[in-house]
A and B are shown apart, each in its own frame.
Chain A
Amino acid sequence: MYIRVGITREKPSIDELLNELMKNTDPSTGAVSVFVGFVKGLIDDKKVHKLIYDAYEPYASKSLESIAYEEAKKHGLKGVIIIHRVGELVPGEPTIYIVVGAKSRHEAFTGTKDILERVKHESYIYKLEIRDDGEYWVLGDGERIKRLKRQSS
């Protein structure tokens, strides 16, 4: 199976990710699922100006790698690419890419969904929402806490 993960400030090309996956998986691969997550422009009726993503490296990359290997094994996937972006991202910009190759659509879809859920909960990646009504840390799956103060270091 082919596995690659990355945490980057760059915006990858979906075409290149698809080609990379197809080039590196065996000929029995018949389905590729591509999931792309984007920064929302509106949250709780408040305008979002940007999200700032931060990752605890190298452990965030290691956690993505474990998720990719474990889910590939569980679903019998042929290949998994997970790319998570960090830094300042404005609404409409992509944040995460999950590209999954499998023998058939069922494995590709369920594998993609399970990988996304685990990335959201296990990846040591964090975000700060800069909105019209202030700055909020997002904790876990949706809990928000207002930024106490700007850290200086």
Chain B
Amino acid sequence: MNIRVKAFSVFTDILGKELILEIPGRETISLEDLIDLLTKKYSELSKLLNKIEYILLVNGKRVDKKYILHSGDEVAILPPASGGL
């Protein structure tokens, strides 16, 4: 299965703006397990997630970490918004 991961703000320093995560031999994965995979691959991400608040969106919607992802889903990792002035 493939999951598109989009990063914003400080998370782009570690992940770039977008990456496709290929997970062979799986048809689904929980959001929690996907984050575990990412933190194993990117050690700096683990440090950052422990340091700052963050938001996870799947296809634009806020979900909890037990959410089950399917191939083609888009996961976004974002810090708290900083729009306005």
Contacts and interface: CB of A to CB of B under 8 A. Distances in A.
A pairs with B: yes
Given A145-B52, A149-B13, 10 more contacts: A120-B81, A123-B81, A127-B83, A137-B79, A139-B52, A139-B80, A139-B82, A140-B53, A140-B82, A151-B12
B14 interface: yes
B57 interface: yes
A130 interface: no
Interface in A7-45: 37-40
B85 A126 contact: no
Contact of B82 (A38, A59, A120): A120
Nearest to A138: B82
A35 to B, nearest CB: 9
Q: Interface residue tally of chain A, by bracket?
A: 35 or more
Contacts of B44: 148
Interface of A: 37-40, 53-56, 58-60, 62, 84, 95-96, 116, 119-128, 137-141, 143, 145, 147-153
Contacts of B17: 151, 153
B70 interface: no
A121 B81 CA distance: 5
